[in-house]
Structure formats: C-alpha cells, structure tokens
C-alpha cells in the first residue's frame, strides 16, 4: 500500500501551532503527489493517441458531411 494512503494518527500535540504545522505538511505532501501524477499523465502517450484519433474522426465526419468539397491536406506534425 502506498505511503500516502496510510492513516495518520495525531497523538497529543502540545500546541495549536504544532497541529497546524502537521496538517500543512500533510497537505503539501498530497499536493506534491497530485502534481507528480498530473505530470505523469501529461507525458502519457495515451493522451496523444486519443487526440490523434479524435482529430481523424473529426476530419472524417467533415468529409462525410460535405462530400462535394475538396478535402484539405492534413498538416501532420511529427
């Protein structure tokens, strides 16, 4: 099980400052993990594949809707 999902126990903090500090650290850890996951998903090839297929389907639908127009040359990148 990932460390981020382990239940955290808070045992008798002496002051409110310690309690606030503890939760600020926990929130910053969770923010860090979320940003890492978003970055990982952003670099994912799956998103690029989906965008490519979506673009192809949109071009196909446009072609089927207006068959009398000449098809435009697709600018493919990369």
Query: Measured between alpha carbons, how far is 4 from 36 in angstroms, rounded to an integer?
Result: 13
Q: Does residue 10 contact residue 19 with C-beta atoms inside 8 Å?
A: yes
In terms of pTM, does the model score above 0.85? no
The DSSP call for residue 68 is T
pLDDT tens per residue across span 62-76: 999 987 766 555 555
Q: Tell me, what's the pLDDT at 4?
A: 65
Give residues with Cβ within 8 angstroms of 63, minimum separation 6. Answer: 71
pLDDT tens per residue across span 30-64: 999 999 999 998 888 888 899 999 999 999 999 99
The DSSP call for residue 71 is P
């Amino acid at each position: 099980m990932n460390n981020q999902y382990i239940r955290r126990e808070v045992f008798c903090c002496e002051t409110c400052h310690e309690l606030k500090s503890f939760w600020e650290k926990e929130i910053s850890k969770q923010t860090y993990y979320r940003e890492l996951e978003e970055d990982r998903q952003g670099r994912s090839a799956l998103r690029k594949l989906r965008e490519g297929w979506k673009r192809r389907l949109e071009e196909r639908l446009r072609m089927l809707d207006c068959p009398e127009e000449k098809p435009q040359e697709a600018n493919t990148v990369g």
